[in-house]
Amino acid sequence: MSPRIIALTVFILAYILFILLPQRRTLVALGGSLLLVLTRTISLPEAFLAVNWNVMGIFVGTLVIADVFMQSRVPAYIAEIIVDRAKSTTWSILLICLLTGFISAFVENVATVLIVAPIALALAKKLKINPMKMMIAIAVSSNLQGTATLIGDPPSMLLGGFAKMNFGDFFFYQRKPSIFFAVELGALASFFVLYFIFRKHKEKVQLLAVEKVRSWIPTILLVGLVILLALSSFLDTGFSFLAGQLCMVFGVVALIWDKFTNQKSLRAGLKALDWETTFFLIGIFIIVGAISLTGWIEVIANYLAQLVGGNILFGFVSIVTLSVVLSAFIDNVPFLAAMLPVAMIMAAKLAINPALFLFGLLIGASLGGNITPIGASANIVACGLLKKEGYPVKFIDFMKIGIPFTLVAVSAASLFVWFIWR
């Protein structure tokens, strides 16, 4: 069997198993990578180079920062203040969602949900209401804003690594408003969807103050990292190494601080990190790298370019729609990793700025996961917390919020990208 056939077969089988065995996605990705190396479809040096180690550094480093930031209880403390000062329960919920979005722009989505969830559950218990809608709103808000910055979520990191976009490029790219502003427009539009959902909760509530800030040091570390990432944009214009190194250095500092302040062993701190997603990303890089090296990316891009013809609008709408639909049911990380080079080649064949297709792809893939409870890791975590509290979430319950939220947010963000980058 030729390397091209092996690469394509492993790629297709891996994606099928991602859908059928979502709890085993890391084993599938690593198993597929190992098979590609053992069959010499991709050499060991090629497999190593296929992994974007800058992106991996950003991901692991921010995971550590997020963990100590969550333990500091600063986000929960701020959430309590917001709830107590809101004029009604409706605005308490909406402001919690806004806080979730803000944190998620700088902290991985799952960690963000874990940070905010206790406050939402406490509010629901005090009001004696079902927390389901509130927790779903927190999850989808997290997924939305995680797209806004380079360090918000793995899909953004993948795009940054592929397109050589630094932290500042997510705000202004090639002297034009970038993905951040598209996401914020989507957030503004979807805010009215959330208001409509929670509009009936007019009562005023006050939470008993239970949260106390353990330390402001993790907050200082997070803010310092964001500032340095912004400044690194001027030093590492090719987004080759500096961002990943900065995140790893700050992660190590956070681990050491955690060890001496909370008497926590380094081994325990490292063990608590999301290594499953880390190794999943490495496996995906290798599988997609094999597809690229054997020429399949070019084949797929040529087919889609012929399908689209010269109609740029049809191509853009097709990419966004396909991304939304597929990401509702499959993990957006492997989908985005496979489609980024396809979008780049399609843009070259149509002689347009690739940012149009790349940004449309990111918006569709990241926000499409909000449609179903299995579309994003943050959704799965939120549903797990609800089930633990005795509120199992059905597909239809999630989709009643996820579908209108996603359609409004994707439409607004996509229109922004189209009019700025067409």
Compute the distance between CA of residue 330 and CA of residue 327 in angstroms, rounded to an integer. 5
Q: Specify the number of domains making up the chain.
A: 1
**198-235: per-residue pLDDT in tens?**
887 766 666 556 667 788 888 888 888 878 877 776 66
Task: Give the angle subtended at the CA of 311 by the CAs of 308 and 316, to the nearest 5°.
Answer: 75
> What are the angstrom distances between the C-alpha of 149 and each of 311, 381, 411?
30, 22, 19
Q: What is the pLDDT of residue 247?
A: 85
3-state secondary structure of 279: helix
- Other beta carbons within 10 angstroms of residue 30's beta carbon come to 17
The rounded distance, in Å, linking the Cα atoms of 32 and 12 is: 10
**pTM of structure:** 0.79
- The pLDDT value recorded for residue 236 is 65
Phi, psi of 177 (to 5 degrees): -55, 135
Give the Cα separation of 165 and 158 in Å (integer): 10
Domain interval for residue 19: 3-421
**Tokens matching residue 410:** 């994707």
pLDDT at res. 211:
67
**Which residue, chain included where needed, has tokens 């409870």?**
373
Joined together, the tokens standing for residue 294 give 């054997």
17 phi and psi angles, rounded to 5 deg: -70, -30
CA distances from 377 to 181, 269, 404 (A): 24, 21, 20
Q: How far apart are CA 350 and CA 345, in angstroms?
A: 9
Spatial distance between the Cα atoms of 359 and 178, rounded to a whole number of angstroms: 8
> How far is it, in rounded angstroms, from Cα 348 to Cα 342?
10
- Taking only the tens of pLDDT, the chain with its 422 residues reads 788 888 889 888 988 887 787 778 789 889 999 999 999 888 898 889 888 787 788 778 877 887 788 778 787 777 777 777 777 778 888 888 888 888 888 777 777 787 777 777 777 777 677 888 888 999 999 888 888 888 888 888 888 888 888 888 899 998 899 999 999 999 999 999 999 988 877 666 665 566 677 888 888 888 888 788 777 766 666 656 777 888 889 888 888 888 787 766 767 667 767 777 788 878 888 888 888 788 777 777 777 777 777 788 888 998 898 888 877 776 677 778 878 888 888 888 888 889 999 999 999 988 888 888 877 778 877 887 787 778 888 888 888 899 999 999 999 999 999 999 87
Residue range 13-59, pLDDT digits in tens: 988 887 787 778 789 889 999 999 999 888 898 889 888 787 788 77
Give DSSP secondary structure letters for 13-81: HHHHHHHH-GGGHHHHHHHHHHHHHHTTSS-HHHHHHHS-HHHHHHHHHHHHHHHHHHHTTHHHHHHHH
Rounded to whole angstroms, what are the CA distances from 384 to 132, 137, 139, 291? 11, 15, 12, 35
pLDDT at 192: 92
